[in-house]
Structure 1
Amino acid sequence: MSTNASPLVLVTGGTGYVAAHAIAQLLDAGYRVRTTVRSPKADLPDVEVVQADLSADDGWAAAHHGVQYVLHTASPFPPGSPKHDDDVIAPAVGGTLRVLAAARAAGVERVVLTSSFAAVGYGAIPQSRYTEDDWTDPGDPNTAYIRSKAIAERAAWDDVAAHGGPELSVINPVGIFGPPLNSRVNSSVGIVKAMLDGQMPFALPTRFGVVDVRDVADLHLRAMTSPAAAGRRYLAVSGETISFLDLATMLRDHFGDAAANVPTVELTEAEVRANPALRDALTQLGRRPVISADRARTELGWQPRPVRTTIVETAEALLKAHNEAWT
């Protein structure tokens, strides 16, 4: 149980996928938790809620008052292609700088920023192995979301270098899967849902990293308090990259008839190139990257779940929610 003497942690974007798990783990560890939300209607028991939006100054000073640590998980993620790139980039960068400025003014000890592998491994020239030393060039022809993560993280490091404190640590997860704690389904979990629902008749010939949302939250908490984590960024990935067809095979092997609708055929690269709707997949064709989480494992003692466990438990949560909705 937390007490008034327990450190107060601010988690931005409290209704989000990673935030929900981070809040749950913080409460279990005895911390007091405050969170920001855009809508005052958000129902988040056991935490203090402050209304604040990434694109405006209101609320951020109050949100940071008395806070020792900040987990800045909030970031815009559009469901489709935005009309203008700045619809995503501006709030991502502006929100990050607002959080850092408010944290600095409030004397916050450390901010842990949720960035992404999007800020690491989407360069125009593919690499065979990625570590925390790699960066995505914002000038490369990527989606607005990918560019927003690279630009916002760069802005955070530059801001701390220019103005000093708070201490900054950054988490760079690959595709985040795992059981949701609320009704919101992120884009990665949406892939599993689409496969189970029969909405993905073919698998794309691309590979991606997998990490469990519970392990991402755990890594945030480790980076929040470890002396070694100050000024460091950490890739979060559970193991080797997998393909969409690998994912479908895991589902079919474990769930049998319940996974009867998952794809069994992988598109060829030529078929992807011939389909304008699959434009965003072109930069990943033929890539089989090795993504290293050695730094998180060695410096912070992080031990993520196996990929198969994460995929199976993601699907179990989705199937349970589906069955409950029909009873």
Structure 2
Amino acid sequence: MTVDVCPSKIRIEVKARGESACRPSLESPDFWDLMLSISSFKRAIESAGGAARSAKLEAVKRGFSIYGNSVEVVAMDDLIHGQYPDAFKDAGALIHIAAPLIGREATPKAALDVSVLGSLNIIKQAEKAGIKTIGYVSSIFAASTALLQGDFTPVNENQWLPITREDVLNNKDVDGATVYIAEKALSERAVWDFVDQHPHLEVTTVNPPFFYGPFAPGYRAPYLGDPFSSNNLSTLAILWNLIHPKGPIASPYFVDVRDVARALVASLNSPSTAQVGRKRILMTSEWVQPSEIAALVKQHRPELASRVCEAMQEPITGLTNITDNKRLKEVLGLEPTPWRKTILDGVDTLVAVENAWKARGVAISL
């Protein structure tokens, strides 16, 4: 998805594919993040537009209807080749947050093409339209995936995951997670290569891990549909493990989704590259042992104590933050949301979804 910040409104542009290839339920964490971004924009500017997929257009419009005429939604049917001059008309800035989720494209090649070539196409059109300020959502895994193997060596903004397009396409057994990580790493590299060729652009990338926290206003997908699909919880489905006693561990490698939204908004008025250097912002919440997360829920949500995941008691050797959020503070002037608030707000959101379905006579679970 793409967000154009216009003088009078926010324009949401929705990327489209065939009806069978996308879910109108809008389960993407990109959409979740975008909804929170719009909420932040509403606080930051008087009135504010973005791109969605045609098949999702009406659902996106319904989601943003709570903002009245302040949000305009248009569709982009082809991120790679499509030309959309009207989408960038009168826009002063761009936020681009699209990347196909795991398994959403038919082949690894298609996923890489949409992410890399699609991102470049949108940014090139924005630059041609005179837009100079761009925010872009990447991933901390574009810098390193070592933490997934239990290596918590500090990571900085100068590091890159050593993965190539050929690594993905030549591996017939490549898994979806590797493809997605490659999408993020290779598309961000392509964006920075373009910026190197167009130094007048002011680009900020934010590189977070998994998103936890509450859903955004207007995001109704988890409450809709028949049957229930945990896909609609986005990455909050990972946190849901926390209140499933026999489930797997709820990953402690997270960031508050509201912080990502705040970072995107702050990037639009951040100091120039000439002042602060390349604005590649690695960001995380404070990471603590799973047992601390479990204890928090037991203490502050005692009615859930019997549901807390048993696997959360097992320690993770050497667990520590891999980034100090220094650039988040220096460049964007932000501090991470306290981890306890992120966890409790996320758990409360999940319980609200459970209760809504229970009221319909449906017990939901992972």
Determine helix, strand or coil for the equivalent of 1:21: helix
Shift of 1:312: 0.3
CA contact 1:51–1:59 (8 Å) conserved in 2: no
Q: Which moved more, 1:97-106 or 1:81-90?
A: 81-90
Shift of 1:31: 4.6
Q: 2:259 aligns with which of 215, 220, 245?
A: 215
Determine helix, strand or coil for the equivalent of 2:241: helix
Shift of 1:208: 4.3
Decide whether aligned partners of structure 1 residues 256 and 13 sit closer, same or farther in structure 2, where only a CA change above 3 A counts. farther
Determine helix, strand or coil for the equivalent of 1:237: coil
Provide the residue aligned with 1:114 in structure 2. 137
Q: 2:163 aligns with which of 135, 138, 148?
A: 138
Q: Deviations over 1:216-271 (max 9, x none)?
A: 111111111112467411112122x23545433433332223242232136989xx
Residue 226, structure 1, aligned to residue 270, structure 2: yes
Provide the residue aligned with 1:160 in structure 2. 195
Q: 1:70 aligns with which of 80, 88, 94?
A: 94
Determine helix, strand or coil for the equivalent of 2:301: helix
Provide the residue aligned with 1:190 in structure 2. 237
Cα RMSD (Å): 3.2
Q: Percent identity, aligned pairs only?
A: 24
Unaligned runs of 5+ in 2: 16-25, 169-176, 222-231, 360-366
Shift of 1:51: 0.2
Decide whether aligned partners of structure 1 residues 5 and 221 sit closer, same or farther in structure 2, where only a CA change above 3 A counts. closer
Residue 263, structure 1, aligned to residue 309, structure 2: yes
Residue 318, structure 1, aligned to residue 323, structure 2: no
Number of residue pairs matched by the alignment: 305
Residue type of the alignment partner of 1:128: T
Unaligned runs of 5+ in 1: 270-283
Residue type of the alignment partner of 1:265: A
Question: TM-score, normalization: structure 1?
Answer: 0.81
- Give the distance between the partners of 1:137 and 1:285, measured in 2 at CA: 25
CA contact 1:11–1:72 (8 Å) conserved in 2: no
Shift of 1:109: 2.2
Q: Deviations over 1:46-101 (max 9, x none)?
A: 311110146443363222111101111222112x5966322322211122101111
Residue 174, structure 1, aligned to residue 199, structure 2: no
CA contact 2:14–2:73 (8 Å) conserved in 1: no
Question: TM-score, normalization: structure 2?
Answer: 0.73
Residue type of the alignment partner of 1:323: N
CA contact 1:203–1:245 (8 Å) conserved in 2: no
Shift of 1:11: 5.1
- Give the distance between the partners of 1:26 and 1:99, measured in 2 at CA: 21
